[in-house]
Amino acid sequence: MAFDSPVDLFLYEMSGMYDAERKSNDLVGEILAQSEQSPLAQILRAQQQQGRQKIANLETCFAMMETEPVDVACMTIDGMRAEFQAFAGQAPPMEAMELYTVDTEMRLAHFGIGAYQGLIDKALLLGELQCAQVLRTNLVQKQENAGTFERIGHELGQRVAMSV
């Protein structure tokens, strides 16, 4: 892809986030498969539904700009997925798996927060106001997810600490 304008950079970064959202949603599916018996399962199912909506929102932005995403691999999510798989492969006890799951979800949310903040800023600078609004919807969901998993992580941590 040639980078001839700021729009090209924006589309490249948005394509990377599109890949990140798709891979994140796949990872949530893997996490859910590992956590089906966990109290987290319901929250993870909601995460998957939100993930599908975030992907659709990005597709809406591409459509607004009359373009398609380019092939940009989000290696950050690839790394997070590899870390999760390596941890899960060690067959940790349920409590450790739950804590690691929450930490993974929190990292995914915080990565998304940073990415969406940059995308929104670029969209506004480019005059893509409708796209910026759609991206802001995804940002708010990521911020809410981060808060949810921070709270759950603290509660789980307290429960584990009390049982030691």
The answer to whether residue 137 sits within a structural domain is: yes
Distance (Å, whole) CA 151 – CA 154: 5
What is the structure's pLDDT at 119?
A: 98
The answer to whether residue 1 sits within a structural domain is: no
The answer to whether residue 121 sits within a structural domain is: yes
Q: At what angle do helices 129-162 and 41-64 cross, to 10 degrees?
A: 160
Of 73, 86, 90, the closest CA to residue 19 belongs to 73
CATH number at residue 13: 1.20.1260.10
Distance (Å, whole) CA 100 – CA 126: 39
What is the structure's pLDDT at 1?
A: 62
What is the structure's pLDDT at 27?
A: 92
Helices (H) and strands (E) in the chain, counts: 5, 0
Distance (Å, whole) CA 111 – CA 107: 6
Distance (Å, whole) CA 61 – CA 91: 41
Residues 118 and 54 sit within 8 Å (Cβ to Cβ): no
Distance (Å, whole) CA 123 – CA 133: 9
Query: pLDDT (tens digit, 0 to 9) for every residue of the chain, 164 residues total?
Result: 677 889 999 999 999 999 999 999 999 998 888 777 778 888 999 999 999 999 999 999 999 999 999 999 999 999 999 999 999 999 998 888 889 999 999 999 999 999 999 999 999 999 999 999 999 999 999 999 999 999 999 998 888 777 76
The answer to whether residue 47 sits within a structural domain is: yes
* Total domains present in the chain: 1
The answer to whether residue 76 sits within a structural domain is: yes
Which residue range forms the structural domain that includes residue 94?
6-162
